[in-house]
Amino acid sequence: MDKCIREIRDKAQELLETGQVEVVIGFTAGTLPGKSTPCFITRGEDCKLLVWDEGCKNNLANYLLKEKRKAAIIIKGCDSRSLVNLLTENQLSRDRVVILGAPCPLTEGCEGCQIKSPVIYDYLVSGKAGKTGEDDFHDVKTFARLSPQERKEYFYKEVSKCIRCYACRNACPACYCRECFVENNLPQWVGKSTQLADNLIFHLTRALHVAGRCVDCGACQRACPMGVDLRILNRKMLLEVKELYQFEAGLKEEQELPLNTYDPGDPEPFLAGGGEA
Amino acid sequence: MTCQCEIKNPYLPYQMEILEVVEENPEKDLKTFTLGFLNEADHGTFLYTPGQFAEISVFGTGEAPFGIASSPTEKGIVRFSVKKVGRVTTALHILEKGDLVGLRGPLGNSWPLEKFAGKNLVLVGGGFAFTTLRSLVCYILDEENRKNYGNLTVVYGARNPGQLLYKEELQDWSARPDIDIHLTIDRPVEGWWGKVGFVPAVTEQVVTSSENAVAVVCGPPVMIKFTLPVLKKIGFTSENIFTSLEMKMKCGIGMCGRCNIGNKFVCKDGPVFSMAELEKLPAEY
Amino acid sequence: MYEILKDDFFLWLKGQLGQKEILAPRLKEEGYLFLPWDGEELELTGYTNTLKPVKDAFFPQWEALIRYRMDKGKPVQVMGENPATKPLILFGVRPCDARSILLLDRVFNGPKYKDQHYRERRENTFVISLACSEPASTCFCQDLGISPLAKEGSDILLVDLGDKFLALADTLKGEEILQERPFSPATPGSMDKFQALQGVSRQAAAASLVPEILSGELSQVFVLPLWDEIYRKCLNCGVCTYLCPTCHCFDISDETTDTEGRRVRSWDSCMFGNFTQHGSGHNPRPTGKERIRQRVLHKFKYFPENYLAVACVGCGRCVAKCPVNFDIREVLKRLGGCQDDMSM
């Protein structure tokens, strides 16, 4: 990883000093053990403060949505998939961002992760990403074997922990609605209490809204202060989309999002009598 | 460990009946609601001063704050002029005479009547922000109170005649000797009998002295912005210019934390501030 | 000063169960939470503080303030919602959180406006705190001049002395309890131990993290360049404010069916974009910059000016749980003139 961070710092410095970008979005050392923190570097000499280590867990793609300056961003595999999505959905203009791709620094990768190296980049930092395997969704499949009652109980227990701080939503690069439905008050779709019903509506609606766009980066679950298992729900949606549309989000720039398009031949097993199950 | 004294629930509203609804503009998105107390006894406890505000409850929808447009000298009623902009105001606009609403207040400080006593008053208003100025005018014009104040000059402007609030009353005031009122609209319109021009320009024209005078300005931010230099030029000091601020509010009693500017809560320390006070605060409003 | 054997204390506490509900730190999947205790053994070995702050007990995440009925053809009926007023013992509160209660009192039980719900819960609650012996790495109460042995805000503070607790009262209610058995006056040996502990924490409490500049003119603090920098990584979620023991901002909204409604107060956050957004769309705090500035200045400038105390007790929850490692301690250091690294 030494070589990797040296390359990142050099490239970032070059980009800033040659005026190709105004800001570099990356990570610097955090204040807590095991936590690196997102940073916005504007001076070449500060690039030495960049780090690329175990603590670099946040999905930085998020920050490009608000960044008005021409930016370089240092990204790992899952961030790059989010970026592809944002480009596909016309939330970013490709010429405003310089992508510095780097292999995922997390040695203990996330379960199910297939893409540890960026799928899109302008510069690719050398270094080997950890091994990845085919995602067999065994967690989702194991969960599916539980009785409906057990699944419901598990899900209710998890969602009951939620304090509705919206860290999951705000950490998610796919959640960029100008006004989220939870904040809309004409009409008010969901109550502001943390009663189970309100929490359920929030999480289920969010899961459906990011279905087919979620890249399983895990940012939502990492951001959650209450340890709600959000990933099981997202991964269930991931599997559904994969099986129904043979689609995985954020892998290729030219992909069309299956739930943003309509094809008369789309499978519709969830409609009464529709499609083949 | 029981309660030492009975604490009332500060969120419990008075029950009010809508006695009258007046459409104030041709677009019909500006209405004046006259409310009466459903329980006679409540009337005596809702004691307010011009410049204060209250929260109106539309049951089934929610609560929102509005400046009180009536004067305490108008016994038995409380009046509000409401522009349809959001959730609560839209629901309120659907209500009719005879419907019930809730009223919580009075809240906030008021126009500093004690500082106004014995002074000439210049009131400058624009658009639908004339509500608490109407309260002040009615209060001062009341027989009991008129002698306590000097000359009363009012400049009130709107985009066109249709957007002026309280049109009949404005006509009545124009005919009175104890108030000098100047109405103005942005562009000439046939049949218009008042002035034409923006509020700051008209203010400069008609207000000639700041001697022993205070000024009160209420209106859209851009109007206030251009009126202040005019008032300063005439000689008003920041200590003698007052305005009322609007912020998003919920509790109205300084607890919910959203209407502060620096360390001042608009709901509790305002909504009325002198320009001298505002100059000490950041312009975060 | 009093003392009690730990076993005797828990027996006594158990004995209170008949008349009162007891909330104590209980370890759940997500962390320690104040939850109902029915007398079984408490597992407190790994307990530094609860995940959610103690404010929940007085100012819950959501509650109904009023209720109404809208029956066809009848006038609307409006009723005040009665807060739960069951006598409560809160056991295991840390001194930082106990102090936060005193700060919330200034907001919800002010001279002019009193919040009925808060006050009734407050008057019905007896706070038994546990002094800290091993602060977490995110704790910074002592940097704010707060002792991990402070009794302020507690009815009774217990200090762990091995097989017994030293017990101190900060209220008359607490003193009355301590004067009765099974509590007994502290032995000189116990008092010596306490003084030794106090000496250590007093030394550490000398420094204050709150910089001088915050006592100065707002016009100067408000325009500091750091506000343009520190907000960028913030996600504008509500973790820091919801987990903060002193943050008290709330929303009020109506939840209704065709015939019934309740007006609900729920926690809100100055970090949220719509917190200050007018119905017209105008927003005095349109970006993260204004919102971070509001949060920092509210705690360390506005609150001290209005209520004579810093609205931060150094519990470190916001530091520990921020998804992007926004560290309020670093902000204070930078406000104090320290130009360290990029972590802010």
Report whether C264 contacts C256 (CB < 8 A). no
What type of residue is A188? Q
CA distance B268 to B260: 9
Residue C111 lies in a domain: yes
Distance from CA of A69 to the nearest CA of B (A): 25
For A149, the token pair is 């009652």
- The one-character DSSP state at A232 is H
Query: Do A59 and A16 share a domain, yes or no?
Result: yes
Residue A106 lies in a domain: yes
Query: Do A256 and A142 share a domain, yes or no?
Result: yes
Q: What is the pLDDT of residues C194-215, one digit of tens each?
A: 999 888 766 555 568 899 999 9
Residue C275 lies in a domain: yes
Q: Is B86 on the interface with A (CB under 8 A)?
A: yes
Q: What is the pLDDT of residues C301-318, one digit of tens each?
A: 999 999 999 999 999 999
Residue C30 lies in a domain: yes
Single out the residue of C91, C86, C89 nearest to residue C42, CA to CA.
C91
Q: Is C64 on the interface with B (CB under 8 A)?
A: no
DSSP letters along B163-190, please?
A: G-SSHHHHHHHHT-TT-EEEEEESS--T
pLDDT of residue B6: 62
Residue C75 lies in a domain: no
Query: Do B62 and B125 share a domain, yes or no?
Result: no
pLDDT at C326 over 60: yes
pLDDT of residue C203: 57
Query: Do A180 and A115 share a domain, yes or no?
Result: no
- Measured between beta carbons, the chain B residues lying within 8 angstroms of C276 are 247-248, 258-259
Residue A269 lies in a domain: no
- Measured between beta carbons, the chain B residues lying within 8 angstroms of C75 are 15, 38, 100
- Asked if C30's CB is within 8 angstroms of A226's CB, the reply is yes
pLDDT of residue C339: 62
Q: What is the pLDDT of residues C120-164, one digit of tens each?
A: 999 999 999 999 988 899 999 999 999 999 999 999 999 999 999
pLDDT at A275 over 50: no
Query: Do B118 and B228 share a domain, yes or no?
Result: yes
Query: Do C238 and C174 share a domain, yes or no?
Result: no
Cα angle B67, B69, B74 (rounded to 5 degrees) comes to: 135
pLDDT of residue C242: 98
Single out the residue of B168, B135, B137 nearest to residue B52, CA to CA.
B135
Q: What is the pLDDT of residues B208-223, one digit of tens each?
A: 999 999 999 999 989 9
Q: Domain holding B65: CATH number? A: 2.40.30.10
pLDDT of residue A277: 40
Q: Domain holding B125: CATH number? A: 3.40.50.80
Q: Return the SS3 of A82.
A: helix
Q: Return the SS3 of C209.
A: coil
Query: Do C106 and C186 share a domain, yes or no?
Result: yes
Query: Do A146 and A254 share a domain, yes or no?
Result: yes
Query: Do B118 and B93 share a domain, yes or no?
Result: no
CA distance B210 to B212: 6
For C260, the token pair is 């019934």
pLDDT at B52 over 60: yes
* Number of domains composing chain A: 2
Residue C138: how many other CB atoms lie within 10 Å: 19
pLDDT of residue C72: 87
Report whether B104 contacts B13 (CB < 8 A). yes
pLDDT of residue C231: 96
Residue A132 lies in a domain: no
**Cα radius of gyration (chain A):** 20
**Tokens 């041709």 -> residue:** B26
Residue A53 lies in a domain: yes
Query: Do A162 and A253 share a domain, yes or no?
Result: yes
Number of H helices, E strands in chain C: 12, 12
Q: What is the pLDDT of residues C75-109, one digit of tens each?
A: 899 999 987 678 999 999 999 999 999 999 999 99
Cα angle A128, A30, A23 (rounded to 5 degrees) comes to: 75
- By Cβ distance, the residue of A38, A192, A226 closest to C253 is A192
pLDDT at C167 over 90: yes
* Percent residues over pLDDT 90 in chain B: 91
| Average pLDDT of the segment spanning B190-201 | 93
DSSP letters along C89-100, please?
A: EEEEE-HHHHHH
Report whether C220 contacts C297 (CB < 8 A). no
Query: Do C233 and C129 share a domain, yes or no?
Result: no
Cα angle A77, A82, A83 (rounded to 5 degrees) comes to: 90
Query: Do B99 and B171 share a domain, yes or no?
Result: no
Residue C341 lies in a domain: no
Residue B268 lies in a domain: no
Let me know if B202 is exposed, middle or buried by CB neighbors in 10 A (0-12, 13-18, 19+): buried
- Measured between beta carbons, the chain B residues lying within 8 angstroms of C275 are 248, 258
Domain boundary among A68, A96, A124: A124
* Mean of all residue pLDDT scores within chain C: 93
Residue A85 lies in a domain: yes
pLDDT of residue C201: 66
Single out the residue of B197, B160, B174, B191 nearest to residue B30, CA to CA.
B160
pLDDT level of residue B239 (50, 70, 90 thresholds): very high
Query: Do A180 and A103 share a domain, yes or no?
Result: no
- Asked if A194's CB is within 8 angstroms of C342's CB, the reply is no
Identify the helix (H) or strand (E) that includes residue A208: helix A196-210
pLDDT at C168 over 60: yes
Q: What is the pLDDT of residues B99-109, one digit of tens each?
A: 999 999 999 99
Domain boundary among A74, A100, A124: A124
Residue C342 lies in a domain: no
pLDDT of residue C135: 87
Residue B74 lies in a domain: yes
A111 against A249, higher pLDDT: A249
Q: What is the pLDDT of residues A230-250, one digit of tens each?
A: 999 999 999 999 999 899 999
CA distance B56 to B66: 7
Report whether B184 contacts B197 (CB < 8 A). yes
Query: Do B28 and B43 share a domain, yes or no?
Result: yes
Domain boundary among B71, B106, B141: B106
Query: Do A90 and A163 share a domain, yes or no?
Result: no
In which domain, by residue range, is C20 found?
A: 2-52+84-204
Q: What is the pLDDT of residues A53-71, one digit of tens each?
A: 999 999 999 999 999 999 9
pLDDT level of residue C73 (50, 70, 90 thresholds): confident
Q: Is B209 on the interface with A (CB under 8 A)?
A: no
Question: Cα dist. B160→B83, B196, B197, C241 in Å?
Answer: 16, 9, 10, 46
Residue C196 lies in a domain: yes
Query: Do A149 and A248 share a domain, yes or no?
Result: yes
- Measured between beta carbons, the chain A residues lying within 8 angstroms of B90 are 186
DSSP letters along C87-137, please?
A: -EEEEEE-HHHHHHHHHHHHHHB-SS-B-HHHHHHHHTEEEEEE--SS--T
DSSP letters along B232-253, please?
A: HHHT--GGGEEEE-----SSSS
In which domain, by residue range, is A58 found?
A: 2-124
Query: Do B93 and B197 share a domain, yes or no?
Result: no
Single out the residue of A60, A22, A86, A31 nearest to residue C235, CA to CA.
A60
pLDDT of residue A132: 67
Residue B261 lies in a domain: no
Query: Do C105 and C151 share a domain, yes or no?
Result: yes
Which chains touch C (3+ CB pairs under 8 A)? A, B
Q: What is the pLDDT of residues B2-32, one digit of tens each?
A: 444 466 899 999 999 999 999 999 999 999 9
Residue A129 lies in a domain: no
In which domain, by residue range, is B230 found?
A: 113-244
pLDDT of residue A272: 64
Query: Do A89 and A201 share a domain, yes or no?
Result: no
Query: Do B50 and B70 share a domain, yes or no?
Result: yes
pLDDT of residue A26: 97
Query: Do C189 and C105 share a domain, yes or no?
Result: yes
Nearest residue of A to residue C252, measured between CA atoms: A192
* Mean of all residue pLDDT scores within chain B: 94
- Asked if B11's CB is within 8 angstroms of C80's CB, the reply is yes
- By Cβ distance, the residue of C66, C279, C305 closest to B89 is C279
* Percent residues over pLDDT 70 in chain C: 96
Residue B259 lies in a domain: no
* Number of domains composing chain C: 2
Residue A275 lies in a domain: no
CA distance C166 to C1: 7
Residue A43 lies in a domain: yes
pLDDT of residue B122: 97
For B12, the token pair is 């419990």
- The one-character DSSP state at B201 is H
Residue A218: how many other CB atoms lie within 10 Å: 20
Buried-state track C230-260, b at ≥16 Cβ within 10 A, e below 16: bbbbbbbbbbbbbbbbbbbbbbbbbbbeeee
Query: Do B96 and B117 share a domain, yes or no?
Result: no
* Number of domains composing chain B: 2
pLDDT level of residue A276 (50, 70, 90 thresholds): very low
Query: Do B180 and B140 share a domain, yes or no?
Result: yes
**Cα radius of gyration (chain B):** 19
Q: Return the SS3 of A135.
A: coil
Domain boundary among B88, B106, B124: B106
Distance from CA of C183 to the nearest CA of A (A): 38
- By Cβ distance, the residue of B10, B61, B258 closest to C254 is B61
Query: Do C132 and C26 share a domain, yes or no?
Result: yes
